[in-house]
Structure formats: C-alpha cells, structure tokens
C-alpha cells in the first residue's frame, strides 16, 4: 500500500477571494502583518499497490481528471 498527499493550489495571478477573506479575518482577530494569504486543498490517499511509478502515474491522472482544475490550479504529489 502506498500513501500519498496531493496539494492543490491556485496558479499565480488567479484571484483568491477566500484567501483575501482569511487574510481579513486574521487581521480582525489581531494577527497583524499577515499578507497575501492563498488557500488550497489537500487530499490524503491510500493506493492499493506497491509500484511507486504506477501509483504516481495514477495520481497524476486523478489530478488531471478530478482533483484539480488545471486551467487555474497547480498540483503537487508527495508519495510516502
């Protein structure tokens, strides 16, 4: 079994209204000096295989087809 983490973030230049809202909320809570908050998504997956290369290829396909919108998001795959 292979465990993996996929991190999906907005590409540079894409507006992030949720990040802006978090930035404003942090400021309102007294956490000054926080600038340019960007939010993202994290997926933790377990794959029923021992083949690391096959798992990476499958994870990439998952990201391209479902987990990320590749027009506006980047993704990073980490395999343990």
Task: State mean pLDDT over 51-75.
Answer: 97
Q: pLDDT digits over 3-57, tens only?
A: 999 999 999 999 999 999 999 999 999 999 999 999 999 999 999 999 999 999 9
pTM of this structure:
0.88
CB 33 within 8 A of CB 26: no
Distance, CA of 77 to chain centre: 9
The Cα 10–Cα 32 span in angstroms is 24
**So what's the pLDDT on residue 74?**
98
Query: Is residue 3 a contact partner of residue 56, using CB atoms and an 8 Å limit?
Result: no
CB-CB contact of 47 with 58 (8 Å): yes
């Amino acid at each position: 079994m292979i465990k993996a983490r996929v991190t999906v973030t907005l590409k540079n230049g894409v507006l992030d209204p949720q990040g802006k809202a978090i930035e404003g909320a942090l400021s309102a809570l007294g956490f000054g000096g926080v600038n340019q908050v960007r939010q993202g998504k994290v997926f933790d997956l377990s794959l029923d295989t021992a083949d690391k290369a096959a798992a990476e290829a499958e994870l990439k396909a998952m990201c391209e087809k479902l987990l990320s919108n590749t027009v506006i998001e980047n993704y990073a795959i980490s395999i343990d």
